[in-house]
């Protein structure tokens, strides 16, 4: 039997937010990795300009980022073991949060050719 997609039953907002957080976790300008635990602390959240914002080499649309500064979303990710909330200052993604397959990376993140 194939593994269940979205086994933690994250809602759409939580999935989009986790996808963006996973991308933020890849950049040393927005996050710090703890090599001992495998966790990543995100402290620098992007500010939209117009209808989009930049995350490393990717572009995301503001409409997909409603959860980035939403305490309820942070707490939901924490309850599911994917993150630890230090709202509003920082969010720590656990290894489970870093590895969770949201299946949205290529849907909500645009990577320009240039």
Q: How far apart are the first and last CA of the chain?
A: 41
- Residue 1 within any structural domain of the chain: no
Q: One digit per residue, pLDDT tens: the chain, 114 residues?
A: 666 789 999 999 999 999 999 999 999 999 999 999 999 999 999 988 889 999 988 999 999 999 999 999 999 999 999 999 999 999 999 999 999 999 999 999 999 875
- Residue 61 within any structural domain of the chain: yes
pLDDT, position 87? 97
pLDDT tens track for 82-110: 999 999 999 999 999 999 999 999 999 99
Give this prediction's pTM: 0.94
- Residue 7 within any structural domain of the chain: no
The CATH number of the domain where 91 resides is what?
1.10.10
Domain that residue 79 falls in: 12-110
| Cis, bond preceding 38 (omega within 30 deg of 0) | no
What SS3 class is residue 23? Answer: helix
- Residue 94 within any structural domain of the chain: yes
How would DSSP label each residue in 46-114? ---BTTEEEETTEEEEGGG-TTTT-HHHHHHHHHTTSEEEETTTEEEE-HHHHH---S-HHHHEE----
pLDDT, position 75? 98
């Amino acid at each position: 039997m194939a593994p269940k997609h979205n086994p933690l039953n994250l809602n759409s907002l939580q999935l989009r937010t986790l996808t963006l957080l996973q991308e933020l976790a890849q950049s040393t300008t927005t996050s710090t990795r703890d090599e001992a635990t495998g966790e990543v602390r995100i402290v620098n959240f992007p500010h939209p300009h117009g209808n989009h914002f930049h995350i490393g080499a990717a572009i995301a649309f503001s409409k997909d980022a409603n959860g980035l500064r939403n305490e309820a979303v942070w707490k939901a990710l924490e309850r599911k073991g994917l993150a630890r909330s230090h709202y509003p200052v920082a969010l720590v993604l656990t290894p489970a949060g870093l590895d969770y397959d949201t299946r949205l990376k290529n849907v909500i993140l645009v990577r320009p050719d240039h």
